[in-house]
Structure 1
């Protein structure tokens, strides 16, 4: 087994594609899992990357099919588990569409990785496993020790945070029972230049902001991070033996209103709505909330640059 062979699940997504690109840049050989090898929207942009011919292998994988996962992680020193159902729009059957693939998928990946002798798994959780947490003390900054309130989410029908929270908890449960080396990354709203042809949910939300949406995402927003920084967070968490536990990955803890005001300032030509200053009641702002990742050497892209990279990408692809 080479230390330089790794697997990335969910490789064709917005963050997954950046992760594959950075890993190839660093000399890794990558087993990249996608859902359908026949779908050019998943394959073409990955195959076009520098070094892809020499060091990229595409594998078809289904989170509920254990054998397909075992085949993808075989011979790898590390696994980056990003694949997760993220459905934009109405969910008809949350149990089947979101919860089962997220939770069982995480356990399947960890189990297959452990059986294959993989040294460490870095899994992507989310700030959705940290918020909504309405009972958190008002004078305390939310961080890695804060967990989403599942009862609250059930009452409100918020299935994505339930799925991300239960998937992460299942991952920690597995790590605890087996002593396996697992590290989690909890990214905020992911924005930046899109490498895949498809748009991700966070970038779709930015399109709405540019069109004047007045939605405040009170339950869901805590700050943002650049795609490249989120990908780099995964690599640093893999390469630093001391990395452990959860890692909040946001450039800063901000309110949605702060973000929207910044978009309006940078792009006055768009009809961006004016929102109240405090859109996330009870959320304390912080500039070094992601201190654990900063200590691993991550330098976050500043907010202005994240927004510019994201909007310019949306413009170049004709979304705005």
Structure 2
């Protein structure tokens, strides 16, 4: 879980929950570059819902007026009620019962945590909540080890066959942190914000990686099982309208793989 709790204008003091992680470390660097003072903490080890509510209570008790919450596209799909020909957007919520049946506990926790955050802020006056829902986050990393999404790509370029039924697109870590900062610095920003360069299928992604790195043993997906994913370019229109410029997928993949190489992982 990564959250930013902020209570001052640009150049002021910012609290980053999860500042030592993949996204958090980039966020801390970007904030410092912009002249902020940063108080960073490690990832909370409590259950997702409890940890989220504790952070929100602490923010309110401290007089903090605005919280930017890191959720995930995992809180958006699967949604069996979503129109078959419509691109997924901020109005979509994942079906908890389906997630439980598939034992996708990370997705369950992200969905429940975001719902709990919205419920809490609906009851509490004076605490503004804005949420970002990124897809699979990739890009060069500042941490000494790789997280789950980076490990997934690492396995792919090492020749392992990958399968991810709920895959629907990637986003560059640098674009995620830029989006977080934009959402904080834009008082008019409200609601949820899907954060992805494009909506695509797993077959598209593996083909892209294989085309970029023909020398690596990337296994292409031979059967497209993601007919439910409606492809789209530039789906994150709310963030684009706020001035976020998304890195194209090929650049993100190449920068990530180059980082793997520089750290001796491949």
> TM-score, with normalisation over the residues of structure 1?
0.78
Tell me, yes or no, if the aligned pair for 1:63 and 1:104 is still in contact at 8 Å: no
Q: Match of 1:170?
A: 116
Task: Compute the RMSD of aligned alpha carbons.
Answer: 1.4
Residue 14 of structure 2: aligned partner: 6
Give the equivalent residue in structure 1 for 2:156.
209
Structure 2 equivalent of residue 48 of structure 1: none
Give the Cα–Cα distance (whole angstroms) in 1 for the partners of residues 242 and 222 of structure 2: 35
Match of 1:113 in 2: 59
How far is 1:274 from its partner? 1.9
Report the secondary structure of 1:183's partner residue. strand
Unaligned runs of 5+ in 1: 36-61, 65-100
Q: 1:63 offset after TM fit, Å? A: 5.3
Matched, 1:29 2:37: yes
Alignment of 1:130 with 2:76, yes or no, is yes
Q: Note the 1:1-320 alignment, pairs <5 A.
A: 3=9, 4-34=12-42, 62=44, 64=46, 101-179=47-125, 180-219=127-166, 221-276=167-222, 278-320=224-266
Whole-angstrom distance in 1 between the partners of 2:15 and 2:54: 14
For residue 175 of structure 1, report the CA deviation from its aligned partner: 1.0
Please state whether the residue corresponding to 2:159 is helix, strand or coil. Answer: coil
- How far apart, in 1, do the equivalents of 2:225 and 2:162 lie? 10
Closer/same/farther in 2, CA of residues 157 and 28 from structure 1, 3 Å limit: same
Distance 2:117 2:106 in 1: 16
The 1:285–1:2 alpha-carbon spacing in structure 2 relative to 1, beyond 3 Å, is closer
Structure 2: runs of 5+ lacking an equivalent: 1-6
Residue 278 of structure 1 aligns to a residue whose secondary structure is: coil
The offset of 1:215, in angstroms, is: 2.3
Aligned-pair distance for 1:208? 1.1
Distance across 2 between alignment mates of 1:145 and 1:175:
18
Distance 1:183 1:126 in 2: 13
Return the offset for 1:15.
0.4
TM-score normalised according to structure 2 size: 0.93
For residues 265-298 of structure 1, give each alpha carbon's deviation from its aligned partner in whole angstroms, at most 9, with x where no partner exists. 1100001112136342211011121001101110
How far apart are residue 2 of structure 1 and its match?
Answer: 5.1
Give, in whole Å, the separation in 2 of the partners of 1:224 and 1:277. 20
Structure-2 separation of matches of 1:227 and 1:189: 9
Q: How many residues align?
A: 257
